[in-house]
Amino acid sequence: MSRTRTGQFGIGFRRGGGDWQQDITSLLQWAKESGFECLDVRGNPDDVRAVIDAGLAVGSADLPDGRGMMAPDAGLRDQAVEANAEFVRACKGLVRNFFVVMLPKDPARPRPENFGYMVDSYGRLAPTLEECGGRIVIEGWPGPGALCCTPETIRALLKEIDSPAMGINYDPSHLIRMGIDPLRVLREFAGRVGHVHGKDTEILTERLYELGTEQPPTFAERIGFGGGHWRYTIPGHGQMRWTKAFDILAGAGYEGRVSIELEDASFNGSEAGEKQGLLLAKQVLEGC
């Protein structure tokens, strides 16, 4: 199985949306033949069992109802907590990491208000996670109204919910696009990292000059898997210093895996391209 040179972390990938990835049996066969160690899956117990039965590990499984956990309606939050707790219990002994992005049900509400809903729900889910040996791993994708994308709100949440069940999915691509130092974030929160995404970001300096950071393009061509001055890439095609990151993680005692999240316009869009992107990303990570 493939591992990083620094830290010897197992390498896998996150299941994507391409047509060739929808048959999980054939996907798992290709993953094994290609030397991957784990697969990140959706919030489906059948997919979890398929990965385990195939002899691979589950890097992370999506929490089934993340938005409901941040709903203004207390009844909806109650339902989401119970649905997610049921999934965690069904995955006991099979899944350690439950993936979520902290996207509120109503992004237009004040951010402190949505933060309070998040603390309420995840604070009530934490005991079930602890009992089942699971943990939340939060990805900092800065979607509409999203929280826990920056050190400010990550730090605040970990203070409010003092539980080992609250962790981080470290994805440096989002930090780089926001202008946040990804290695400094890792140094501060390495002990809470439960999972890592192998995804990078390239800063497009000419577009940065032309467009800046505050406005969308008016005439410039839009970029797939990117914004005005940046684009997501596979590891090795962006700004991230992966060897240094793995060194920090190893020093903090990280024992998890690195899952490639393929979002790169140079490779996405065809079966051949996506397979090539995953294999090239794996090769880069193996050398880091």
- What CATH number has the domain bearing residue 218? 3.20.20.150
Confidence bin at 233 (pLDDT 50/70/90): very high
pLDDT of residue 152: 97
Tens of pLDDT, residue by residue over 182-206, are 999 999 999 999 999 999 999 999 9
> Residue holding tokens 């979607």?
143
- Contact in structure between 142 and 180 (CB atoms under 8 Å): no
**pLDDT at residue 118 above 90?**
yes
What is the average pLDDT score of the chain?
A: 97
Confidence bin at 267 (pLDDT 50/70/90): very high
The answer to the question of residue 182 being in a domain is yes
pTM score > 0.85 for this model? yes
Tens of pLDDT, residue by residue over 45-57, are 999 999 999 999 9
**Run of H or E including 76:** helix 74-90
The answer to the question of residue 4 being in a domain is no
The answer to the question of residue 81 being in a domain is yes
Rounded to whole angstroms, the Cα distance separating 162 from 180 reads 25
At 133, list the tokens.
């040996």
Average pLDDT over every residue of 57-61? 98
pLDDT of residue 142: 97
pLDDT of residue 158: 97
DSSP for 26-41, written as a single string:
HHHHHHHHTT--EEEE
Of 1, 80, 73, nearest to 43 by C-alpha is 80
Count the helix, strand and coil residues of the chain and give each as a percent rounded to the nearest 5.
45, 20, 40
Rounded to whole angstroms, the Cα distance separating 263 from 221 reads 18
**pLDDT at residue 284 above 90?**
yes
Average pLDDT over every residue of 123-148? 98
Confidence bin at 94 (pLDDT 50/70/90): very high
Average pLDDT over every residue of 162-170? 97
- Contact in structure between 65 and 80 (CB atoms under 8 Å): yes
The answer to the question of residue 31 being in a domain is yes
Cα pseudo-dihedral 35, 63, 122, 178, rounded to 10: 70
| Phi, psi (rounded to 5 degrees) for 73 | -75, 120
- Contact in structure between 120 and 80 (CB atoms under 8 Å): no
Please say whether the dihedral angle defined by the alpha carbons of residues 46, 263, 36 and 165, taken in this order, is positive or negative: negative
Buried b (16+ CB within 10 A) or exposed e, 161-171: bebebbbbbbb
The answer to the question of residue 1 being in a domain is no
Q: By residue range, what is the domain housing residue 73?
A: 11-286
**Run of H or E including 97:** strand 97-101
- Contact in structure between 13 and 260 (CB atoms under 8 Å): yes
Average pLDDT over every residue of 124-134? 98
Average pLDDT over every residue of 100-108? 98
Burial class (CB in 10 A: 0-12, 13-18, 19+), 112: exposed
Confidence bin at 123 (pLDDT 50/70/90): very high
The answer to the question of residue 25 being in a domain is yes
Rounded to whole angstroms, the Cα distance separating 9 from 259 reads 10
The answer to the question of residue 2 being in a domain is no
Q: What percent of the chain has pLDDT over 90?
A: 98
The answer to the question of residue 146 being in a domain is yes
**pLDDT at residue 263 above 90?**
yes
pLDDT of residue 1: 83
Q: For residue 57, what are the CA distances in angstroms to 60, 119, 157, 185?
A: 9, 30, 28, 27
